Amino acid sequence: AVAGLPQPTRSGASMLSVGTGAWNGEQAIAIGVSGITSNDKFIYKAAGTTNTEGDSGGNFSVGWQW
């Protein structure tokens, strides 16, 4: 579910996103935030997820583009 979360494409924009996914008979939901700095140099993403088995996970990443 986390892999399917979109991110913004405009400079200075932020996004709150929600997604679902399924694998091997289990369903999951994810929620995340992402954004691009106003100078277009950095992209950030953070997300959390849980599934119908009660498992949970999360991630955080920052990218630098040139």
Residues 43, 26 contacting (CB under 8 angstroms): no
pLDDT of residue 41: 97
Q: Taking a C-beta distance cutoff of 8 angstroms, is the pair 42, 36 a contact?
A: yes
Domain range annotation of the chain: 2-64
Q: Global pTM?
A: 0.84
User: Mean pLDDT across the stretch 56-65?
Assistant: 97
Residue 2: strand, helix, or coil: helix
What's the length of the chain?
66
CATH of domain 2-64: 3.30.1300.30
- H-type alpha helices, the chain: none
Report the distance separating Cα 14 and Cα 20, nearest Å.
20
For the segment 7-29, the average pLDDT, to the nearest whole number, is: 95
